Amino acid sequence: MMKLLLSEYAGFCFGVKRAVDLLEKQIQKGDKRIFMLGHLIHNDDFLRDMEKRGVKCIEESELEQLNPETDLVILRTHGVKAEMEQHVKDLGLPYLDTACPYVKKIHNIVKTEQETDDPQFIIIGDKNHPEVEGIVSRIEKRDNDLVLVCKDAEELEKKTAILAKTSKRRWIILAQTTQNIAEWKKCLKKLKKLYTNLTIFDTICYVTEKRQCEAASIARMSDMMVVIGGKASSNTNKLAEITSEYCPTLLIENESELKTHSLKPNMTVGITAGASTPDRIIEEVLKTMSEMKNVEEGMSFQEMLDHSFRTLVTGERVTGVITSILPNEIHVDLGIKHTGILPADEVADDSNIDLHELFKVGDDVTVMVQKFNDAEGTVQVSKKKVDNYQNWDKVVEASESSTVLKAKVQETNKSGVVVSWKGVRIFIPASQSGLPKEASLNELMGKEISFIIISLDPSRRRVVGSIRAVIRAERKAKQEKFWNEIEVAKQYTGVVKSITAYGAFVDLGGVDGMVHITELSWKRIKHPTDVLNVGDEVTVFVKEFNPETHRISLGYKTEDENPWVILPGKYNVGDTAEVKIVGLTSFGAFAELIPGVDGLIHISQLSDRNVNNVAEVVRVGDVVNVKITDINYETKKVSLSIRALLHSEDTAVEDTAVEDTAVEDTAVEDTAVDDTAVDDTAVEDTAVDDTSMDDTAMDDTEATTVE
């Protein structure tokens, strides 16, 4: 039995279908006479059909015979020369440009590249084909400019000498949209050996490429190939050239040319069709072949045809094959005539991912159909949405187990923020953001946050998450750990959270403690802000705590800074010190001995005279000298005296006067001694008499005492 293999890419490509559909709409309007400037597509059957419907094909020379009021010009699918298009415009004729988007893309490349530095062009294609003529016509010729058109690698080889002379120029390499893929690759290989300054644009139509690759694959498995299409069609002829390398090939325009006698039993016959071949002709050929009795049973020809022409609908999931990877998108073969375009931001949440690291050409990828673009023959697809559905079960599981999830914030609005976890969109209300009411939700934009799912609506596929719940759970865990490990005197590093008139509250990591104002400094302070500010990182220690009331008293000042510990190393009782008056009372003045230690100068010690009012002697801010008269470390009191210093000065003056008198007395005594020495002899002579006198005197004295 005969086995038939039908190409999925047989028939109109999207560019031809677009042109035919545009023409059909104009025919249906019926408000103007329609003229095709050149053959709309290269298929005689189609052109004859159009002729019967009143659509006439004309040459450029006939344009001036048309009437702008009643006639419409159709510019063909392959594009027209630039001067021809300009001629239509100059005549004021209404026209409809049906040029294939791939052809228009080449026109734009040519225009853009000519705006850069001194480009030269090489076009791989048929120089006599309308498409190539249209491209060449849009390249402005300047001095020393060179535009080469080579149909294949062999012709390119012959022009090597010309190319070598201009090897230092920058070359732009383009391909006719229907160019043979194998020849294109051969040409590129040759050019890369000649040049280092190449800019290559692979402008071969994607569908053409797939059609050629599939035709070659079918031909390898077939005993014979049937190629359906116009003999003037470039892409149809290239299909026949490709398949003929693998098996005998029959090129036909319609079913009338089908040579059924050449088809033998037990043969495998491959069937494909060019991009300009109408579906009607393919159906007629298939119908003719289906009437043969020696065809292998299985899929009917109608089923094969339907499969070949199958389409997809929006929202449908389909597995395709990656055909190319660009920096910002992936091209996917979906098995239809539209090229699947998978943008980077439809691959994953992070649009900055490197697509080349995640995918390779030839990989299978399951995507969801989103939006068709018939004008360009593409369909936008999304992998992210497929992942969304596949990961829904994981979201449900995470919701049931209260699993903490992580994702980056992608959107913000007045109501909350939006994240995407494994392709599933999750909304987090502002009340669950974990931010204070006055804070802006924009603070979370682009940040990775932790959250749990608190609400799930499977019917509407709505998911609500909470950052606040995670923060609360983390705080609770920290608190439990904290109260299990807290000890008196244990040190913590925390952040000042708030300040009141009586102290500062410090966040110790989910638990707050308070440092009373008296514990902030050894010095006298008026307010806690004299020492700390909100946001300061501080080291504190536990003074006491109550696990039941969750109250913690903290210490901040340390013994190293205790002025009563520092004082003994600086002053002792009896020392003189320069002090500053810091306060006045009715009974004396307080003065700062060292920071944190004040001494009292009693009113009686302010002066060596009576003082009724302390302010008569000193004022706050005065610096005076005092004597330390007493230090009591137990009661932490110091007594100071100004008067003691004044008395010391008076004593010093008196001592000086006494010393002066003693010196004078000594001088007198010295003189007396000297005088006595002169009369020593006389004294000796009268010594006896003096003794007698003394005795008599003694007796008188004794008698007087008795009385």
pLDDT tens-digit profile of 205-264? 877 777 888 888 899 988 888 999 888 888 888 889 899 989 988 888 888 887 765 667
- Radius of gyration (C-alpha) of the chain in whole angstroms: 55
Tokens, residue 500: 């009141």
The SS3 of residue 461 is: coil
Give the angle 184-279-267 at the CA atoms, nearest 5°.
75
The 10s digit of each residue's pLDDT in 591-609 is 999 888 899 999 999 998 8
Domain boundaries 391-472, CATH class: mainly beta
Give the model's pLDDT for residue 178: 84
What residue has token string 């677009």?
A: 18
Catalytic residue among 8, 113, 131, 346: 131
Q: Is the pLDDT of residue 431 over 80?
A: yes
Cα–Cα distances in Å, from 439 out to 430, 434, 435? 10, 10, 6
How far apart are alpha carbons 187 and 40 in whole angstroms?
A: 30
Give the mean model confidence (pLDDT) for residues 163-190: 81
Tokens, residue 508: 């110790």
Among the listed ranges 324-338, 471-485, 544-558, 572-586, which one has the minimum average pLDDT value? 324-338
Does residue 474 have an active-site annotation? Answer: no
Torsion over CA: 255, 259, 261, 263 (sign): negative
Phi and psi for 82 in degrees, rounded to 5? -60, -40
Q: Which of the following CATH numbers is that of domain 317-388: 3.30.360.10, 2.40.50.140, 2.60.120.260, 3.40.50.150?
A: 2.40.50.140
Percentage of the residues of the chain whose pLDDT score is greater than 90: 29
Query: Where in the chain are the domains?
Result: 3-8+223-308, 14-101, 102-200, 317-388, 391-472, 486-561, 563-641, 651-707
Adjacency order of strands within the sheet including 249-252? 3-6, 268-273, 224-228, 249-252
Looking at domain 486-561, what is its CATH homologous superfamily? Nucleic acid-binding proteins (2.40.50.140)
Which of the 8 DSSP states describes residue 402?
T
> Taking a C-beta distance cutoff of 8 angstroms, is the pair 623, 578 a contact?
yes
How far apart are alpha carbons 437 and 694 in whole angstroms?
A: 118
Q: Is the domain covering 3-8+223-308 a CATH 3.10.20.30 domain?
A: no
Quote the pTM value.
Answer: 0.46
CATH number attached to the domain at 14-101: 3.40.50.11270
The 10s digit of each residue's pLDDT in 333-346 is 887 767 889 988 88
Fold type of domain 102-200? Cobalt-precorrin-4 Transmethylase; domain 1 (3.40.1010)
Give the model's pLDDT for residue 361: 86
Domain boundaries 563-641, CATH class: mainly beta
Q: Name which residue leads in pLDDT, 691 or 235.
A: 235
How far apart are alpha carbons 605 and 588 in whole angstroms?
A: 8
> Taking a C-beta distance cutoff of 8 angstroms, is the pair 16, 24 a contact?
no
Q: Considering only CA atoms, which of 568, 682, 585 is closest in space to residue 636?
A: 568
- Cα 279 to chain center, whole Å? 50
Confidence category of residue 162, pLDDT binned at 50, 70, 90: low
Amino acid at 509: G
Transcribe 279-314 into DSSP letters.
HHHHHHHHHHHHT-TTBPSSS-HHHHHHHHT----T
> Taking a C-beta distance cutoff of 8 angstroms, is the pair 106, 86 a contact?
no
Helix, strand and coil percent figures for the chain, each rounded to 5: 40, 30, 35
- On the question of a common fold for 317-388 and 563-641, the answer reads yes
